[in-house]
């Protein structure tokens, strides 16, 4: 297993290109790919996994994505892509039938967040298995998983953007494309997967902060949106990025019921919209809804509360005792407020079980550390608001 260290942005374009070329060489030389993501994968995580799997298939290499649990219905179009392209999807304790000499991790801040069963985890320590990593989560308590030279880990709007960078680099490698008889590298399905990652994590670019992020988002989203439109038949669905975004934002009928129960708990401070759902309430909800529904609802509500407050949104809930002994926190920054890096919360208050990027984080703490959940959240919000004010004062001065 590689020595872990905090993830840092790749310092130069030359180094980024060298890493990308190493990954292209691995696609040509390695024999089988097992592709991993984090637990309860979001749109960027799943889309980048599938985009890489599609690329491996173009090299005529077997590819398996490990998902753990069944996914939300709005990802069905991505799972259909896997089915139509002979990409195996493994769940829970399914055996990994295709041989794998390479692990590929997508959009996961650190190794202990990986969705993996015991058989998959045994592969982590095998020195003969190459480990490749794509991620845009850096700093805070992030940790590398990939082998040195195979970590395409850097500032980006999404992990989908990093897969897009790999595709565009490969597009110029005519010799290797001819060698593997790849005549349609930027096919509709791979474009659709990349675009899902690019627009999903940034909410159609609304949560981007820096000029570099906005410029790369504009370049990649425009390019892949045009490719998708050109390659979609008039009778087909998901012909442009707006339709893709609407699909990944859609809540199922089941989720709407759960969502309304969470939304009833909302309250507001000067800089936060927040909702706290205690263990008794979660027990009631778990009798009607599964754990993945609760995770999806928490994500969607955090986004809404951030935009309603104009600053930050926070959703906190205690896991059902049958799931874990942890309290879950999700924090999202409003699209109108981009000055504060949310990873500062992880650093300042020493939350080690979590991760994210500057616009969205998640973390969890043991229930034993909390006597009164609502009081704990209010105290945390007060401390975060004080931190924001200090940093804004330092910025102004």
DSSP line for 232-276: S-TT-S--SHHHHHHHHHPPPHHHHHHHHHHHTTEEE-SSEEEEE
Q: Clarify whether residues 285 and 323 are in a common domain.
A: yes
Q: In total, how many domains does the chain have?
A: 2
Rg (C-alpha) for the chain, rounded Å, is 21
Q: Clarify whether residues 120 and 203 are in a common domain.
A: yes
Q: Clarify whether residues 241 and 294 are in a common domain.
A: no
Would residue 65 count as lying in a domain?
yes
Q: Clarify whether residues 107 and 237 are in a common domain.
A: yes
Would residue 5 count as lying in a domain?
no
Are 225 and 241 in contact by the 8 Å Cβ rule? The answer is: yes
Q: Clarify whether residues 86 and 230 are in a common domain.
A: yes
Would residue 6 count as lying in a domain?
no
> DSSP state, 180?
T
Domain limits for position 278? 254-396
Q: Clarify whether residues 203 and 333 are in a common domain.
A: no
In this structure, the strands spanning 354-357 and 326-333 are unpaired
Q: Clarify whether residues 174 and 259 are in a common domain.
A: no
Distance CA 216, CA 209 (A): 12
Q: Closest by alpha carbon to 256, among 67, 73, 76?
A: 73
Would residue 45 count as lying in a domain?
yes
pTM recorded for the entire structure: 0.69
Last residue of a domain, one of 249, 265, 283: 249
Are 109 and 39 in contact by the 8 Å Cβ rule? The answer is: no
Q: Provide the CATH number for the domain around residue 134.
A: 3.90.1640.10
Would residue 353 count as lying in a domain?
yes
Last residue of a domain, one of 249, 278, 310: 249
H/E stretch holding 361 reads strand 360-366
Q: Clarify whether residues 163 and 245 are in a common domain.
A: yes
Q: Clarify whether residues 156 and 192 are in a common domain.
A: yes
Q: Clarify whether residues 136 and 260 are in a common domain.
A: no
Would residue 2 count as lying in a domain?
no
List Cα–Cα distances, 108 to 159, 335, 379, in angstroms: 9, 23, 29
2-16 residue pLDDT tens? 445 889 999 999 999
Would residue 80 count as lying in a domain?
yes
Distance CA 82, CA 74 (A): 15
Distance CA 136, CA 140 (A): 12
- Give 183: exposed, middle or buried? Use CB within 10 Å, 0-12, 13-18, 19+: exposed
Distance CA 56, CA 61 (A): 5
pLDDT in tens, the chain (397 residues): 444 588 999 999 999 999 999 999 999 999 999 999 998 888 899 999 999 999 999 999 999 999 987 776 667 778 887 877 778 888 887 877 777 899 999 999 999 899 999 889 989 989 999 999 999 988 777 899 999 999 999 988 889 989 999 999 999 999 999 999 998 898 878 888 888 888 776 666 666 666 767 777 777 778 777 777 776 644 456 666 676 666 656 655 667 788 888 999 999 999 999 999 988 888 888 888 877 778 878 888 998 999 899 999 999 999 888 878 999 999 999 988 888 989 899 999 999 888 878 888 889 999 999 999 999 999 999 999 999 999 888 877 6
Q: Provide the CATH number for the domain around residue 379.
A: 3.10.310.30
200-252 residue pLDDT tens? 766 666 666 667 677 777 777 787 777 777 766 444 566 666 766 666 566 55
Q: Clarify whether residues 213 and 138 are in a common domain.
A: yes
Q: Clarify whether residues 50 and 170 are in a common domain.
A: yes
Segment 325-329 long-range contacts (CB within 8 Å, at least 24 positions apart): 325/366, 325/367, 325/368, 326/353, 326/364, 326/365, 326/366, 326/367, 327/364, 327/365, 327/366, 327/367, 327/370, 327/373, 328/298, 328/362, 328/364, 329/354, 329/362, 329/363, 329/364, 329/365
Would residue 3 count as lying in a domain?
no
């Amino acid at each position: 297993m590689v020595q872990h260290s905090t993830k840092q942005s790749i310092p130069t374009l030359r180094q980024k290109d060298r890493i990308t070329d190493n990954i292209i060489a691995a696609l040509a030389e390695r024999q089988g790919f097992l592709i991993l993501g984090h637990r309860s994968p979001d749109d960027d995580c799943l889309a980048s996994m599938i985009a890489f799997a599609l690329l491996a298939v173009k090299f005529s290499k077997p590819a398996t994505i490990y998902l753990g649990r069944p996914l939300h219905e709005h990802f069905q179009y991505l799972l259909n892509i896997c089915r139509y392209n002979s990409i195996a999807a493994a769940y829970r304790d399914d055996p990994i039938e295709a041989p794998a000499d390479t692990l590929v991790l997508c959009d996961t801040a650190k190794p202990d967040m990986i969705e993996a069963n015991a058989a998959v985890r045994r592969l982590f320590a095998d020195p003969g298995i190459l480990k490749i990593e794509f991620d845009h989560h850096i700093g805070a308590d992030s940790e590398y998983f990939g082998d040195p030279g195979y970590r395409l880990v850097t500032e980006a709007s999404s992990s989908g953007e990093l897969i897009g960078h790999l595709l565009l680099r490969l597009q110029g490698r005519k010799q290797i494309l001819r060698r593997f008889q790849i005549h349609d590298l930027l096919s509709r399905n791979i474009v659709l997967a990349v675009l899902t990652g690019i627009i999903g994590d940034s909410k159609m670019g609304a949560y981007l902060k820096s000029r570099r992020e906005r410029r790369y988002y504009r370049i990649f989203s425009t390019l892949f949106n045009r490719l998708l439109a050109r390659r979609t038949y008039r009778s087909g669905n998901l012909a442009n990025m707006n339709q893709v975004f609407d699909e990944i934002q859609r809540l199922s009928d089941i989720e709407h019921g759960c969502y309304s129960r969470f939304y009833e708990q909302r309250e507001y401070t000067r800089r936060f919209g927040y909702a706290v759902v205690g263990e008794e309430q979660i027990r009631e909800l778990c009798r009607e809804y599964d754990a993945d529904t609760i995770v999806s609802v928490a994500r969607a509500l955090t986004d809404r509360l951030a935009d309603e407050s104009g600053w930050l949104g926070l959703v906190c809930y205690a896991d059902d005792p049958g799931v874990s002994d942890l309290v879950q926190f999700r924090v999202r920054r409003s699209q109108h407020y981009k000055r504060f890096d949310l990873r500062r919360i992880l650093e300042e208050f020493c939350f080690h079980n979590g991760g994210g990027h500057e616009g969205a984080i998640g973390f969890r703490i043991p229930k034993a550390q909390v006597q009164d959940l609502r009081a704990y959240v209010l105290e945390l919000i007060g401390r975060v608001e004080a931190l924001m004010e200090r940093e804004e004062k330092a910025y102004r001065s």
